[in-house]
Structure 1
Amino acid sequence: MKTDIQIRPLLERDIEDILQLTSRYAEFDLPNWRDRPSFEQAQKELHQADIYCLEEQSKHFVAIDTNQLFLGYIYIGISVDFFTKETQGFIKSLAVTKQAEGRGVGMKLLDFAETWSRKQGLKTIVLNVFANNSRAKTRYERAGYQAETIKYVKPL
């Protein structure tokens, strides 16, 4: 079921909703050297820091429905490409509530990030995703994103 989705800047009242979504970042099989409680705690701390980040070029936006119900959020910024040294859009985080899954919210947020990046005069947009998060990877690929680098880890 599609929903009328509006995207607006983050308001103070959205912060708790965003922090409630941090567990969504661990809804896939973690590598065996990662323990879920530490992973989830680190995600929560990262998002708490991000919410109060004062980077001028980083912005939080939330997706809401026509009843003002919180559906998800995106944190967008600007980074510099290592190879070209050009600035690029950077999706720092994106999450959707369980209740909003399958309603086009994630794609609407991705589209919004692309439009935002174009308005900044940027030619590319990037994001990171965990290797085992096949659901997210499928969605990103469907939206036209391509894998560029892969980080390998070996526990010692």
Structure 2
Amino acid sequence: MGFVVALLVLGAWCGSCSAQRQRACVEAGKSDVCICSSATDSSPETVDCSSKTLADVPTGIPASTERLQLNYNQLTGIPSTAFQGLTQLTILVLQNNALQSLPVGVFDRLINLDKLYLNMNQIKSLPPSVWDSLTELAGGEMCQNSLAECS
């Protein structure tokens, strides 16, 4: 009987764990949900969280990440602080989600961002200042959204 009770308690505890946001990278080379790879001469430090059915941007993305792939998930919104510590980020891929809007300040700390892919979402409008801090932005895509124009 005690064994059954212990299993029930453990099951309830583990069930509550799944409601928390998932961690992207526990440590280099290991991952809870994403594929995390170190930089090489030919590729940047990458966190690949694509096609993981994520509803939220995971926590635990290393500050040294240069490429973050969150495409083909179920993101409907992004907190304004989601990318706050990722100042080394040069490529951000958010295509093929269900994003409807972007909050003010979401890209404010991405001072090195060179490419941003937001295509194939459901974005209807953007705050006027959303691009203000993206002084290095040289490319990307926003088509196939509900915006009047795309680039």
TM-score by length of 2: 0.31
Higher strand share: 1
Question: Is the radius of gyration larger for structure 1 or structure 2?
Answer: 2
TM-score by length of 1: 0.30
Higher helix share: 1
